[in-house]
Amino acid sequence: VLQQNCEIQFCLALEDPIGNPLSEPGIDRVRRQDKGFSSPAWSINYIENVIKPNTFWDPNRYFNIWVVDISGGYLGYAQFPNNSTLGCLNNNNGGASTDGVVLLYQSVGRPPANPYPPPYNLGRTATHEVGHWLGLRHIWGDSNCGNDCCGDTPTALTANFGCPYPQTTCSSVDMVQNYMDYTDDNCMNLFTVNQKNRMRTVMQVSPRRVDLLSSTVCGSGPPPTSDFYDWSHKHL
């Protein structure tokens, strides 16, 4: 079977960094005006240098996801893990105060909670960026017929958009269904075995990722249950 259950689950934090209960589990709403931040457009430079360092929660206990109005046409971006031991990754990809994922607000969730039009309204931007945060590269290896260090993702000429299937580049059919392509949300539905193994390695060895395994901020209730929904039924 190509499509893998990655066996990594997330839970919504029930308490803030000083132990107070969150009124909305997993959510900390910040008005930048109230914090005295400058209020330019939401460039990546501004997010990295102003927003993140002034709003992050201890990434040894929390996985930080900033949901903002990113400028410049980006759907999202992520910080890669450090010291993962994996190929296709540098050892140092950034510090604690910027660790996590940034998402364009229109890309978060799925209907009815997400009221925005297709094609990026089914939550796959978060899936893609969390893939990066757990050590995955784009399936085209960020160069023409490049290497993503996963032998079970076919080489591809470059990023795909829309849902071009079937399409052959670099002598193989592109895996447009992979979350680490740039295809539409309703085109994506899989991580592979090699991608799963990379992500699980990161969870076991990378600083901050491995510490999350013993975080107690989700409380002591039952473990989270998966909420998978496969929006793509086109070509598996």
The rounded distance, in Å, linking the Cα atoms of 136 and 138 is 7
Cite the beta strand spans of 98-152 per DSSP E.
101-104
Catalytic residue among 7, 15, 24, 129: 129
Farthest CA pair distance, the chain: 56
- Is-catalytic flag, 129? yes
Identify the sign of the CA torsion 67, 71, 77, 83: negative
Closest CA to 128 of 182, 63, 175, 179: 179
Phi and psi angles of residue 45, each rounded to the nearest 5 degrees, phi first: -60, -40
Strands 101-104 and 168-169 turn out to be unpaired
Q: Where in the sequence numbering do the catalytic residues fall?
A: 129
